[in-house]
Structure 1
Amino acid sequence: MALLGSIIKTAIDLRGAIVSEKSPVASQKEVLKNLLEKAKDTAFGKYYGFGKILESENIQKSFAEKVPYFDYHKMETEWWCKTQEGLKDISWPGSPKYFARSSGTTGKTSKKIPVTDEMIEAIRTTGIKQVGALTNFEIPSDFYEKEIMMLGSSTDLEVQDQFLEGEISGISASNIPFWFRGYYKPGEEIAQMDDWDEKVATICKRAKEWDIGALSGIPSWMELMMKKVIEYHNAKNIHEIWPNLKVYTTGGVAFQPYEKSFNQLLAKPIIIIDTYLASEGFLAFQNRPGTTSMKLVSDNGIYFEFVPFKPEYIKEDGSLSQDAPALTLAEVEADVDYVLIISTVSGAWRYLIGDTIAFTDVEKAEIKITGRTKFFLNVVGSQLSVNKMEVALQEMEKQFDIKIPEFTLAAVKIEGEFYHHWYLGTETEIKSEEIANALDNALKEANKNYSVARSKALKGVKVTTINPTIFHEWNAKNKKKGGQVKMEKVMDEEKFTEWEDFVKSEVNK
């Protein structure tokens, strides 16, 4: 069978040699023009004068001037609600077949994002590009014969009126190409299971039947699944079950916080490849070794804009001020945090996806995700992004030789003074005061604004350590297990009080 792997790899290599890409900047201009052309006769396109924008000398500039920023609430209440009522040609031609339910980290109810046929095709095309990029890594030919474990949400989509609803991983998995189904695990029957515990239990029973070469899914749930498989088979590590495992495609959240605990489940190193697949589209993926950065998909149905991530542009609810300036891909700089704005073939326009990014290589259009606009902790001027939090916690892992795969925090008042109260998920017993002081010092050294805040309004840092499983149970209580579910990293006072009550109930069980 090694011959088959060689043939597949050669075909991928040949395709890469034949297909030449335009520059990301040129591709983005073309993408925007195509989006406006296709949507100019929709209700949205007529309202904002897409036809006139297309006639302007600078389409990108005119688009930014005439179309406001939209967050989910604004897009849903003004436009997508009409699509959900069954009206056609609202923000994109026709009517979508799917709505992706976003079980993200913010908001009390699931968002419903339209997923058009064009978006399904764009996600599939980007997925093929990502597979093609594997040839840039040192992977033997026989890898291309192995099976891929995709641990996502249920593919058994719910019928709501004339639409099918589910999480984007479930929608994508239900639309995999026929030629890929033989490689796809856990297979259609198990993938349709909605109960995460039942799904994992079935995977455990079937695990030894499969020759898994790659894993794909959110790190926290992938790690839990592997632990269950290892425990079920009384193995020392996952390679005793799947000896040919060589690649893990991660996404949804940053992998670095999970790296230490994840690697302890392996017998040998594997290649980690980052991806950026959201309910709104497949935005970026890592296409070369030697970096953890991801290349923006600049030529496939998504137009990007970038707003400098500054406190004066971010409202208290995490939305954008309408006077915030937006830059094109040709105008960005490296190592600057930007709020990501997208316009897509699903009819999202100048849409605040909620993530902040920074360019690591402008020419290659390579980025890293630095946080969420709603997870920007700036109650007393500390200006802490998720990226800065995670870097500090990685330092704690090294300093104390512990694993901290999960965390959350809030700015709280104790006896009239503001403190940052951190909850760290770790299985290691450690003195809370000791790690609180070390964490505080690490943040002071790495972040000037935090250091200034600590000398003024921010009185101190409090740390509570708990078992990481409590974070998973919190998600199960508030949303559900598995799929695209992610833990919120920063909470407001109301949510944090609810969280603390939940932790106490779990600890006292």
Structure 2
Amino acid sequence: MAILDIKLPNSILKALRLPQNNPRRQQIKVLKKLLRKARFTSFGQQYRFDEVLLSKHPGKKFQEMVPVFTYNKIYTDWWHTTLEGTPDICWPGKIRYYALSSGTSEAASKYIPVTNDLLRGNKIVMIKQLLSLRNYEDIPYSSVSKGWLTLGGSTDLQKGSGYYAGDLSGITAKNAPFWFQPFYKPGKKIAKEKDWNKKIEEIVEKAPHWDIGFLVGVPAWIQMCVEMIIERYKLNNIHEMWPNLAFFVHGGVSFEPYKKGFEKLLGKPITYIETYLASEGFIAYQDRQYSTGMRLVTGEHIFMEFVPFDSKNFNADGEIVSNPEALMIHEVEEGKDYALLISTAAGAWRYLIGDTIRFVDKERCEIVITGRTKHFLSLVGEHLSVENMNKAIQLVSDEMNICIPEFTVAGIPHGNFFAHQWYVACNDHVDGKKLAAKIDEKLKMLNDDYAVERNSALKEVFVEVLSEQQFMDFMRCKGKVGGQHKFPRVLKGRMLEDWQRFLKSELTTVHA
């Protein structure tokens, strides 16, 4: 056991002035730090941060004084004025950077404030994650000192009136410390490229000149890039070019649907490390081998609250109620789904990030992401989560020995009742009806509510088998190529209409 992992008594920790292993204390300390920094802002004055700081129970007082905000509410009420250059709104000073994020369901881009304080906190967490690699038995030290291929957004940011906007990965790379540059691939010039296809082509061209130790990025785009390198240089696997490739740091979506296809590209096993780095901040990362979850960052730059994801706190469309029950980290329970509220060093306050998480180890503050507040299907009470869908796809892929890198699901009317329509990317030969029966079978096993409703109002499960290219082409036509963009697992409303229209136009083109 590593010395740093030994849990000393709090009395000894205090005497040695070492941090105590107490997430509640860490979180209160973070909250106070955020409140002190922002107490003279317009937001801090309106919601009386000074009064919260003087309270004996600042966490509870903070919840009493400050309402819960969705993006639309905090942007309309506060953030829009920062785009006009107004300083000291929700965080001290002017906002110089905005992360453009549309999540996976919204049509219009969101402008998420990014401050130097947030970037500094993110960098500290990144360094801690690098240090945690000593907990992984299968990662040789030599691989860490090789090149790091990060497939992110362009560092050539959009220039606004007094600010820059772009993908968080692009903002982070642009502000990377000097010691990071020798290891960072694809390097400044290629990272600046805005045309995603051109960027990938340049990476493929340079690939033989690099010695890559690990990959960082969204699974779909990393897989596509590695496939192109293998095809271009007639390789059997990527390890023929990069023998020191030892691990893949991924995030944004569950890796399970991609794992089978990705491993076909390797010459030897590598280690997969999950991260939870959102546009709003670095929230969690996997810090030890074989852990089932990611460890929340409790002591840096984000204060977290947890809203039970149930009908008491959310309506049927996944919209949060006006005064939800919000728990602090010491009040949560393992095995329950919570929607995450965050307050950050960039002026997000009690902000509903839109993800749902579940604690798998409360003592270690380890969580898994189970889905999105609006990315679930419950037409008739089946309560089908993205986690259920990912697991079903993984089980079916293994059983049928096929690769399903992308999928999405929609709820549709079916006579007087309802059905689920699956759209599945699979380049292997597969019968859609057989695939539908297998997915249905696994979901019944995974979700009791689903099993009950399949005998009632949820009458059918349909599967349309498409190519992976069709999913990619739709993302391109929506302007969501590369970087942090990923295909939504559940389609509703306008996005579903756009998808159906896209597929119909493709069918018309084929038959024309």
Question: Is 2:113 aligned against 1:125?
Answer: no
14 and 447 in structure 1: CA distance in 2 versus 1, 3 angstrom threshold: closer
SS at match of 1:375: coil
Which whole-Å CA distance do the structure 2 matches of 1:505 and 1:478 have between them? 15
Give the C-alpha shift of residue 369 in structure 1.
Answer: 0.4
21 and 133 in structure 1: CA distance in 2 versus 1, 3 angstrom threshold: farther
Matched residue, 1:111:
110
Deviations 1:109-156 (A, max 9, x none): 110000011001011111111111111112223223201000001001
The amino acid that maps onto 1:53 is V
Kept in 2: contact 1:410–1:493 (CA 8 A) = no
Matched residue, 1:384:
384
Which whole-Å CA distance do the structure 1 matches of 2:384 and 2:411 have between them? 11
Which whole-Å CA distance do the structure 1 matches of 2:92 and 2:148 have between them? 35
Question: Is 2:382 aligned against 1:406?
Answer: no
Matched residue, 2:491:
491
Runs of 4+ in 1 over 6 A off after TM superposition: 13-19
Deviations 1:226-246 (A, max 9, x none): 011111111111111111100
User: What pairs with 1:291-302 in structure 2 (closer than 5 Å)?
Assistant: 291-302=291-302
Give the C-alpha shift of residue 257 in structure 1.
Answer: 1.3
Which whole-Å CA distance do the structure 1 matches of 2:168 and 2:281 have between them? 9
Which whole-Å CA distance do the structure 1 matches of 2:256 and 2:19 have between them? 30
317 and 90 in structure 1: CA distance in 2 versus 1, 3 angstrom threshold: farther
14 and 149 in structure 1: CA distance in 2 versus 1, 3 angstrom threshold: farther
Kept in 1: contact 2:218–2:483 (CA 8 A) = yes
Identity of aligned residues (%): 44
User: What pairs with 1:343-354 in structure 2 (closer than 5 Å)?
Assistant: 343-354=343-354
Question: Is 2:197 aligned against 1:185?
Answer: no
Which whole-Å CA distance do the structure 2 matches of 1:227 and 1:476 have between them? 19
User: What pairs with 1:1-20 in structure 2 (closer than 5 Å)?
Assistant: 20=18
Which whole-Å CA distance do the structure 1 matches of 2:184 and 2:19 have between them? 29
User: What pairs with 1:82-231 in structure 2 (closer than 5 Å)?
Assistant: 82-138=81-137, 139-231=139-231
211 and 19 in structure 1: CA distance in 2 versus 1, 3 angstrom threshold: farther
Matched residue, 1:479:
479
The amino acid that maps onto 2:412 is V
Give the C-alpha shift of residue 104 in structure 1.
Answer: 2.1
SS at match of 1:395: helix
Deviations 1:243-292 (A, max 9, x none): 11001100111111111111111010001100011100011111000124
Kept in 2: contact 1:296–1:367 (CA 8 A) = yes
438 and 360 in structure 1: CA distance in 2 versus 1, 3 angstrom threshold: same
Deviations 1:400-427 (A, max 9, x none): 1111111111111133331000011111
Which whole-Å CA distance do the structure 1 matches of 2:306 and 2:390 have between them? 23
Which whole-Å CA distance do the structure 2 matches of 1:494 and 1:165 have between them? 25
Which whole-Å CA distance do the structure 2 matches of 1:332 and 1:286 have between them? 20
SS at match of 1:320: coil
User: What pairs with 1:355-366 in structure 2 (closer than 5 Å)?
Assistant: 355-366=355-366
Which whole-Å CA distance do the structure 2 matches of 1:239 and 1:20 have between them? 42
The amino acid that maps onto 2:26 is S
RMSD between aligned residues = 1.7
Which whole-Å CA distance do the structure 2 matches of 1:317 and 1:37 have between them? 36
User: What pairs with 1:242-281 in structure 2 (closer than 5 Å)?
Assistant: 242-281=242-281
Which whole-Å CA distance do the structure 1 matches of 2:73 and 2:376 have between them? 21
Which whole-Å CA distance do the structure 2 matches of 1:40 and 1:133 have between them? 34
Question: Is 2:37 aligned against 1:38?
Answer: yes
The amino acid that maps onto 2:251 is G
Matched residue, 2:12:
none
**Segment drifting more, 51-60 vs 448-457:** 448-457
Which whole-Å CA distance do the structure 2 matches of 1:333 and 1:482 have between them? 36
SS at match of 1:312: coil
Matched residue, 1:304:
304
Give the C-alpha shift of residue 381 in structure 1.
Answer: 1.1
Kept in 1: contact 2:316–2:378 (CA 8 A) = no
Matched residue, 1:419:
419
SS at match of 1:471: helix
The amino acid that maps onto 2:461 is V
SS at match of 1:482: coil
Give the C-alpha shift of residue 175 in structure 1.
Answer: 1.0
Normalising by structure 2, we get a TM-score of: 0.94
SS at match of 1:367: strand
Which whole-Å CA distance do the structure 2 matches of 1:362 and 1:418 have between them? 38
SS at match of 1:245: coil
User: What pairs with 1:416-495 in structure 2 (closer than 5 Å)?
Assistant: 416-495=416-495
Matched residue, 1:283:
283
Kept in 1: contact 2:105–2:495 (CA 8 A) = no
The amino acid that maps onto 2:491 is M
SS at match of 2:81: helix
The amino acid that maps onto 1:309 is F
Deviations 1:423-445 (A, max 9, x none): 11111222222221221122122
The amino acid that maps onto 2:360 is T
Deviations 1:468-490 (A, max 9, x none): 12111111111231101111111
The amino acid that maps onto 1:217 is G
Kept in 2: contact 1:479–1:485 (CA 8 A) = no
Give the C-alpha shift of residue 317 in structure 1.
Answer: 4.6
Which whole-Å CA distance do the structure 2 matches of 1:386 and 1:124 have between them? 30
Number of corresponding residues: 497
Which whole-Å CA distance do the structure 1 matches of 2:419 and 2:493 have between them? 12
Matched residue, 1:6:
none
The amino acid that maps onto 1:288 is R
SS at match of 2:440: helix
SS at match of 1:475: helix
Which whole-Å CA distance do the structure 2 matches of 1:483 and 1:71 have between them? 24
Which whole-Å CA distance do the structure 2 matches of 1:51 and 1:187 have between them? 45
Give the C-alpha shift of residue 68 in structure 1.
Answer: 1.0
Matched residue, 1:4:
none
Question: Is 2:52 aligned against 1:79?
Answer: no
**Segment drifting more, 197-206 vs 488-497:** 488-497
**Segment drifting more, 19-28 vs 180-189:** 19-28
**Segment drifting more, 205-214 vs 137-146:** 137-146
Kept in 1: contact 2:371–2:385 (CA 8 A) = yes
316 and 194 in structure 1: CA distance in 2 versus 1, 3 angstrom threshold: farther
SS at match of 2:464: strand
Specify every segment of 5 or more residues in structure 1 that has no aligned partner in the other structure, as ranges.
1-12
